[in-house]
Amino acid sequence: MTNASPPASPAAALYGSPPADLADAPPGAAQVSPLRPGSADIAALADDSIGQFTVAAPPGSIERRFVLAHALRALASDGRLVALALKDKGGSRLRGELEELGCEVAESYKARHRICVARKPAGGEAAISAAIEAGSPRFVEILGLHSQPGIFSWDRIDPGSALLLAHLPALAGQGADLGAGLGILARHLLQGSKVEAVTLVELDRRAMEAARLNVTDPRARFLWADARETGLTELDFVVSNPPFHAEGIEDRGLGQAFIAAAARMLRRSGTLVLVANRHMPYEAALRTAFRSVETIADTAGYKIFEARK
Task: Please write the tens of the pLDDT for every residue from 131-149.
Answer: 999 999 999 999 999 999 9
Note the pLDDT of residue 9: 44
pLDDT beneath 70: ranges in the chain:
1-10, 245-250
Note the pLDDT of residue 6: 44
Q: Do domains 11-135 and 138-308 have the same CATH topology?
A: yes
Calpha distance 162→147 (Å, rounded) = 17
**Contact yes or no for 178/227 (Cβ under 8 A):** yes
Note the pLDDT of residue 74: 97
Note the pLDDT of residue 279: 87
Task: Please write the tens of the pLDDT for every residue from 6-62.
Answer: 444 458 999 999 999 999 888 899 999 999 999 999 999 999 999 999 999 999 999
Going by CATH, does the domain composed of 138-308 fall within 3.30.365.10? no
**What residues does each domain of the chain span?**
11-135, 138-308
Element (H, E) at 97: helix 91-100
Note the pLDDT of residue 248: 61
Domain at 11-135, CATH class: alpha beta
- Using alpha carbons only, what angle is made at residue 160 by residues 157 and 165, rounded to the nearest 5 degrees? 75
Query: Bridge-partner residues for 85, per DSSP?
Result: 114
CA distances from 48 to 39, 97, 117, 130, 152 (A): 20, 20, 17, 18, 31
**Contact yes or no for 78/106 (Cβ under 8 A):** no
> Could you tell me the end-to-end alpha-carbon distance of the chain, in angstroms, rounded to an integer?
76
pTM: 0.92
